[in-house]
Amino acid sequence: MFKKAALFGLLFLVGAGFGSYTGYKLSSSRERVLEWHSLDNPEGREFFKTYDLIARLSLADMGAAARLQNPKESPERRKEYLNLNLDAVQKGRAGVTDPAAHTLIDVETGITYARLAMVEAAAGNLPASQTWMQKAQATLKQAGWKDCSEAHLRETVQALNKRDACENPCGKP
Amino acid sequence: MRALKLCGVPLASGLLVGVLVGWHVGRTWAGGGAVLWETSAAAGYGQLVLLQCEQADTEHARQSLLGFTSFSRSISKLHSAQGDKVLLADMGRTYLRLAAIEQLAGNSSLAHQYVLSAQQTFKRIGRDISEDELNKQVTKIAGAARPMVPPS
């Protein structure tokens, strides 16, 4: 009797496991089709690249701001995270063709450069800080910014860090 | 035959329960993920555009605002964006900002077109705002932006 019940349970679990996997795969691919069916054309595929990159940047931006606002994070970890962001932005930018999106990606890149400059300055690495700040100024000037002075960029980035870290509850120390 | 029945019943009932649970979980996760992605993309783009409006020159601000209207139109076609009133409200406000830029640049007919576009967009979320009220908003935005416009 006990053996029969154990066999019954085992077979039920095997069926449930296989069924869950199949059901999950079927419904998630259905959701993907539903999500994208109206944009299944060359323009839609082009839009997807910008859409995907901007969503990633938005989430990464909140993560970066939270790390910069968290006093427990070491400068090395902050730099590592910002460099990862920079890498992702530059890789993603290559796939985007929309000029308006390019400018916004440049703004994001410039802000990340300015953040790196501030992290280096806080760690006492002034030459590295100056190099990053110059890159930030050149990138943001290209994006049409009217005031690219170091003081203004610092003030703007500090305000952005505060805002983005507040939006991300995990970033609250 | 009896062994087949003994094995088949628990296997089939497990399969049925599993498919139902898996279907529900997949739908919830994939749907939730799509909404999160849509919200992040719209908010991320919107925040960068706002930053451009505050910091960049008029031409770059105009370019980014126009980019946002086109980006929002594409986003609104997504299944996850159906019923996203925040996206439409942001789109309406973007048209008002564009109207303010054109008003400051002296292009009053284009400014008027943007006000009408804003009105249509707000109507889609059930907010029937008069043209006069929207013009007041445009004047307010233009007034706030005026000191930032360099003298020509």
A and B: number of Cβ contacts within 8 A: 186
- A32 with A17, same domain: the answer is yes
Q: What is the DSSP letter of B83?
A: T
Query: What residues form DSSP beta bridges with A145?
Result: B56
Residues A85 and A160 in one domain: yes
Specify the pLDDT at position B16: 94
A106 and A145 housed in the same domain: yes
> Measured between CA atoms, how close is A70 to chain B, in angstroms?
22
The torsion angles phi and psi of A145, rounded to 5 degrees, stand at -70, 140
Q: What is the mean pLDDT of residues A101-128?
A: 94
* Chain B residues near residue A59 by CB distance under 8 angstroms: 40, 44
B120/B99 Cα distance (integer angstroms)? 14
* Structural domains in chain A (count): 2
Instruction: Give how far B98 is from chain A: nearest CA, Å.
Output: 15
Residues A25, A54, single domain; the answer is no
Given pLDDT bands bounded at 50, 70 and 90, which one contains residue B67?
very high
Report residue A115's pLDDT band, with 50, 70 and 90 as the boundaries. very high
Q: Are residues A122 and A147 in the same domain?
A: yes
The domain B14-148 is placed in CATH, from the list 1.10.260, 1.10.287, 1.10.8, 1.25.40, at 1.25.40
Q: Are residues A5 and A28 in the same domain?
A: yes
Chain-chain contact of A143 with B59 (C-beta, under 8 angstroms): no
Nearest one of A82, A160, A171 to A119, comparing CA atoms: A82
Judgement on whether residues A36 and A92 belong to the same structural domain of the protein:
no
Domain boundary assignment for chain B: 14-148
User: Same structural domain for residues A36 and A51?
Assistant: no
Nearest Cβ partner of A20 from B11, B21, B29?
B21
Q: Let me know the angle formed at the C-alpha of A23 by A20 and A25, rounded to the nearest 5 degrees.
A: 105
Confidence category of residue B48, pLDDT binned at 50, 70, 90: very high
Nearest to B93 by CA among B149, B38, B47: B47
pTM equals: 0.83
Q: Which of A15, A39, A104 sits opposite B15 (nearest CB)?
A: A15
Question: What is the arithmetic mean of pLDDT over A131-159?
Answer: 95
Residue B56: which of A26, A146, A160 has the nearest Cβ? A146
Give the domain range for residue A80. Answer: 43-171
Q: Which residues, in sequence order, are CB contacts of B95 under 8 Å at separation 6+?
A: B69, B114, B115, B117, B118, B121
